[in-house]
Copies of this chain bind each other. A is one copy, B any other.
Amino acid sequence: MAEPTIASEQPQGADQRLIKGAKARASIARHAADVASVEGLNGVSIGRLATDLGISKSGIATLFGSKETLQLAAVKVAREVFIEQVVVPAMSEPRGMARLRALIEGWFAHVTDPVFPGGCFRVATLAEFDSRPGPVRDAIAEDQRDWLALLAKEIGRAQEQGHLGERGAEVIAFELEAVLNAANTARQLGNDQGLAMARRIVDDLLG
Comparing A32-40, A66-74, A154-162, the segment that makes contact with chain B is: A32-40
Across the interface, which residues of B come within 8 angstroms of A43, CB to CB?
42
Interface SS, A side: helix
Residues of chain B contacted by A197 (CB below 8 angstroms): 168, 170-171, 174-175
- Which residues in chain A, 175-190, are within 8 Å of chain B measured between CB atoms? 175, 177-179, 181-182, 185, 188-189
The answer on a CB contact under 8 Å between A130 and B188 is: yes
Q: B residues within 8 A CB of A37?
A: 131
Contact across chains for B174 and A194 when beta carbons are under 8 A apart: yes
Q: Is A201 interfacial (CB-CB < 8 Å)?
A: yes
Instruction: Tell whether, in the assembled complex, residue A189 and residue B123 are in contact, meaning their CB atoms are under 8 Å apart.
Output: no
Q: A40-B128, A174-B201, A198-B174 are in contact. Are A181 and B181 (CB under 8 A)?
A: yes
Could you say which residues of chain B place their CB within 8 Å of the CB of A198?
Answer: 174, 178
Is A119 among interface residues, defined by CB-CB distance under 8 A? yes
Interface residue ranges of A117-143 to B (CB < 8 Å): 117-119, 123-124, 126-128, 130-132, 137, 141
Q: Is the CB of A178 within 8 A of B189?
A: no
**Known: A39-B42, A42-B40. Contact between A130 and B201, CB under 8 A?**
no
Contacts of A177 in B (CB 8 A): 182
User: A38-B132, A200-B171 known; A124 and B124 CB under 8 Å?
Assistant: no
A132 to B137, CA, bound (A): 23
Indicate if the CB atoms of A175 and B189 lie closer than 8 Å. Answer: no
Closest A-B pairs by Cβ, 8 of them: A127-B127, A178-B182, A130-B188, A118-B131, A178-B178, A174-B197, A38-B131, A178-B179
Extra inter-chain contacts (15) besides given A124-B127, A124-B130, A127-B128, CB under 8 Å: A42-B43, A118-B130, A118-B131, A130-B185, A130-B189, A131-B188, A137-B189, A170-B197, A171-B197, A174-B197, A175-B201, A178-B181, A178-B198, A181-B181, A181-B182
